[in-house]
Structure 1
Amino acid sequence: MEQQGNGYAKAAMKALPEFVLHRYREIDEIILAVNERNIAAQQLYLKLGFLDRGVRKMGIHGQQLILHNRIT
């Protein structure tokens, strides 16, 4: 937890679409699951362009939001 709030996740998630685009040209969408209780992570992903299409799945630690980000 001491690394939380230092911007590491934001930097990694910002770099991810370009990385995927160049390494895996057949991939056109990144889909991730985030725990419903993890509001900070949800806000980060939404700010970075992920979309909440209302899909939910039950995970081992509770309800998960399924977020989508199209890459081109």
Structure 2
Amino acid sequence: MVSIEKYSVKRKYEANLLSVKPEQSEFTAGNINDVLSSLKEHEHPHLIINNSEVAGFFLLDLFYTETYGFSNLKVLGIRALLVDHRFQGQGVATKAINLLPSYVDNNYPDFQALQLTVNCRNKAAYNCYCKCGFEDTGELYLGGPVGPQHVMQRKIV
């Protein structure tokens, strides 16, 4: 069973073990400990749990609209999402991403939509987001570290 939980230090060791395949590393945030040590107050870390094991990580960015301005809606940003290589190909990412709208509705009720960017070369992630109801806005974000990124969005309710 896949679920989402807020990050807590009791899961720090497990979260720090997360890694992706070498060919995916340029598309991810890298070391989870580095991400956590540089968090801003508006960035909320979360874990993807698969049968009680930490299987992935992501941030919910409460200032996404203010920072990026891709939308006129009140948008909650999804950043630094990764699923550990040991859990890939099992539907864990799809299940977690499909849980996000209800999770956000219950825990962050002031937001109208979810938004993220995905590198134009990361076809697997792009296809996963599409399968989970995200739509390509047709806009490209050009400020990413490894090339242009599709801006994708999904309404929460």
> TM-score, normalised on structure 2?
0.44
List structure 1 runs of 4+ shifted beyond 3 angstroms: none
Give the whole-Å Cα distance in 2 for the aligned partners of 1:10 and 1:63: 23
Matches of 2:100 and 2:134, distance apart in 1: 12
Q: Which has the higher contact order (CA 8 A, sep 6+)?
A: 1
Q: Secondary structure at the match of 1:49?
A: coil
Aligned residues: 72
What's the CA shift for 1:51? 0.8
Aligned equivalent of 2:150, options 55, 65, 69: 65
1:12-67 C-alpha deviation (Å, 9 max, x unpaired): 10111110000011111000010100111111111111111211012101111010
The separation in 2 between residues aligned to 1:9 and 1:31, in whole angstroms, is: 16
Cα distance in 2 for residues equivalent to 1:53 and 1:11 = 22
Q: Is residue 17 of structure 1 aligned with residue 101 of structure 2? A: yes
Q: Which residue of 1 aligns with 2:125?
A: 41
Consecutive unaligned residues of structure 2, counting only runs of 5 or more, are 1-20, 22-84
1:52 equivalent among 136, 140, 157 = 136
In the TM superposition, residue 71 of structure 1 has moved relative to its aligned partner by: 1.1
Counterpart of 2:156, as a letter, is I
- TM-score normalised by the chain length of structure 1: 0.91
CA drift at 1:7: 1.5
SS in 1 for 2:148: strand
Q: What is the CA RMSD across the aligned residues, in angstroms? A: 1.0
Q: In terms of Rg, which structure is larger?
A: 2
Q: Which runs of 5+ in 1 are unaligned?
A: none
